[in-house]
């Protein structure tokens, strides 16, 4: 079992498989984002070695993220190999949906049913403003196809002041007919300097207050390590959640490790890189002692971790969300 300095068990890894993206969401990266060379990325073989090692130490859930994971060549065969690792009980994916619809039958065939789809607006013109790309139709096609394949879909909506707050109730309305979970995420300061960030006006309480003006919300029990506070709306097939990602109310039960596409390890989203597993593997050094050591120095919460992080704001595409 991997445990941290605060007696939290770590059984979930978020692994970025590429830093590249086919969108340029303003809250995530600048238009002129620079990506690393392919040789700097973890290879498929390194990813498998890494996950086998982590699984041997109790990691049972893997979320594949990015950048946009479906831009990695050979993603589906890689997922098949990850699926075969003993001890990995759940694989989930976070995607922007632009290329995803082509791969849904493959995901289903692998038993990968948990897909988080990022979608911050239901308006095509606004989608182009937020993402700087004209791909709304492709993302909506992915949403439709995911639901047609009975996948477990969570829609991630980053709530941005003066950008999409007028659509919160429209997203909640989606859950009336569709069995989706819409999760409203507080905006975090990881835009790679794509636009100025000066804190948030829309925290989870403001989001809930706005939804309550139109809907009755009933609190649902949250899973043990959930970052979302979940609610049902009477008569709706789906549900809604709010993720206090900036308010950081959930740190006490955090069970995650984050590994970037280049092998950098973070023990907290807000903290600095603490280790590079690619470097360790390429120099033939063992992984687990170094990971355990990093966890023994893990900050108690995201505020403490932020104090340790002195470099310029990163892009979330590097961290993986
Ligand atoms: N490209 C994929 C996608 O967009 O779903 C996966 C990577 S993306 C970095 C993972 C998640 O991070 C997405 O749901 C995205 O909305 C979220 N995200 C990115 N930047 C963020 C920010 N500054 N604040 C809050 N969430 C952010
Ligand atoms: Fe790309 Fe996802 Fe970042 Fe948007 S949030 S720019 S889709 S990595």
pLDDT digits (tens, 9 = 90+) for 140-183: 999 999 999 999 999 999 999 999 999 999 999 999 999 999 99
Q: Which H or E run includes 256?
A: strand 256-259
Q: How confident is the model at residue 199 (pLDDT cuts 50, 70, 90)?
A: confident
Closest approach atom of ligand 2 to CA 317:
8
Q: Is the CB of 160 inside a 6 Å radius of any atom of ligand 2?
A: no
For residue 204, the tally of other CB atoms under 10 A from its CB is: 22
We report the CATH number of the domain holding residue 136 as: 3.20.20.70
Q: Is the CB of 28 inside a 6 Å radius of any atom of ligand 1?
A: yes
Q: Is the CB of 317 inside a 6 Å radius of any atom of ligand 2?
A: yes
User: What CA–CA distance (Å, rounded) separates 254 from 182?
Assistant: 21
| Helical packing angle, 204-212 and 168-177, nearest 10° | 60
CA of 305 to the centre of ligand 2 (A): 23
DSSP assigned state of 100: G
Give 264-293 pLDDT, tens digit per residue.
Answer: 999 999 999 999 999 999 999 999 999 999
Give 218-271 pLDDT, tens digit per residue.
Answer: 999 988 889 999 999 999 999 999 999 999 998 889 999 999 999 999 999 999
Residue from 23, 25, 28 to probe ligand 1 pocket by mutation (most atoms less than 8 Å from CB)? 28
Q: Closest-lying ligand to the alpha carbon of 94?
A: 1
CA nearest 137: which of 149, 119, 152? Answer: 119
Q: Is the CB of 321 inside a 6 Å radius of any atom of ligand 1?
A: yes
Q: Is the CB of 188 inside a 6 Å radius of any atom of ligand 1?
A: yes
Instruction: Determine the pLDDT at residue 27.
Output: 95
Residue 211 pLDDT exceeds 80: yes
Angle (CA) 14 164 302, round 5°: 35
- Give the structural domain span for 201: 2-319
DSSP string, 198-216: ---S--HHHHHHHHHTT--
Instruction: Determine the pLDDT at residue 71.
Output: 98
Q: Is the CB of 239 inside a 6 Å radius of any atom of ligand 1?
A: no
Q: Is the CB of 94 inside a 6 Å radius of any atom of ligand 1?
A: yes
Q: Is the CB of 316 inside a 6 Å radius of any atom of ligand 1?
A: yes
* Single pTM value for the model: 0.96
The structural domain count of the chain equals 1
CA nearest 274: which of 295, 253, 255? Answer: 295
Closest approach atom of ligand 1 to CA 27:
23
CA of 66 to the centre of ligand 2 (A): 8
Report whether 182 contacts 171 (CB < 8 A): yes
CA of 6 to the centre of ligand 2 (A): 32
């Amino acid at each position: 079992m991997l445990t941290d300095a605060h007696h939290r068990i770590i059984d979930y890894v978020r692994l970025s498989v590429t830093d590249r993206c086919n969108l340029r969401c303003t809250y995530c990266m600048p238009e002129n984002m620079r990506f690393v060379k392919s040789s700097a990325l973890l290879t498929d073989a390194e990813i498998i070695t890494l996950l086998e090692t982590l699984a041997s130490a109790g990691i049972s859930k893997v979320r594949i993220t990015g950048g946009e994971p479906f831009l990695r060549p050979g993603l589906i065969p890689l997922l098949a190999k990850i699926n075969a690792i003993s001890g990995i009980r759940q694989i989930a994916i976070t995607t922007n949906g632009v290329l995803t619809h082509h791969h849904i039958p493959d995901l289903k065939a692998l038993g990968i049913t948990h897909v988080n789809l990022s979608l911050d607006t239901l308006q095509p013109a606004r989608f182009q403003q937020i993402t700087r790309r004209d791909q709304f139709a492709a993302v909506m096609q992915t949403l439709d196809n995911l639901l047609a394949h009975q996948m477990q879909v969570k829609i991630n909506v980053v709530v941005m002041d003066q950008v999409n707050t007028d659509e919160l109730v429209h997203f909640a309305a989606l859950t009336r007919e569709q069995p989706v979970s819409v999760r409203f995420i507080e905006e975090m300061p990881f835009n790679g300097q794509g636009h100025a960030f000066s804190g948030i006006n829309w925290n989870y309480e403001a989001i809930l207050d706005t939804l309550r003006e139109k809907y009755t919300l009933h609190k649902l029990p949250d899973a043990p390590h959930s970052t979302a506070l979940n609610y049902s709306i009477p008569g709706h097939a789906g549900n809604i959640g709010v993720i206090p990602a900036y308010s950081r109310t959930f740190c006490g039960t955090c069970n995650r490790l984050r590994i970037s596409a280049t092998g950098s390890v973070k023990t907290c989203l807000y903290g600095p890189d603490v280790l590079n597993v690619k470097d360790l593997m390429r120099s033939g050094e063992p992984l687990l002692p170094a990971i355990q050591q990093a966890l023994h120095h893990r900050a108690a919460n995201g505020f403490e971790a932020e104090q340790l992080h002195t470099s310029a704001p990163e892009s979330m595409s590097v961290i993986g969300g």
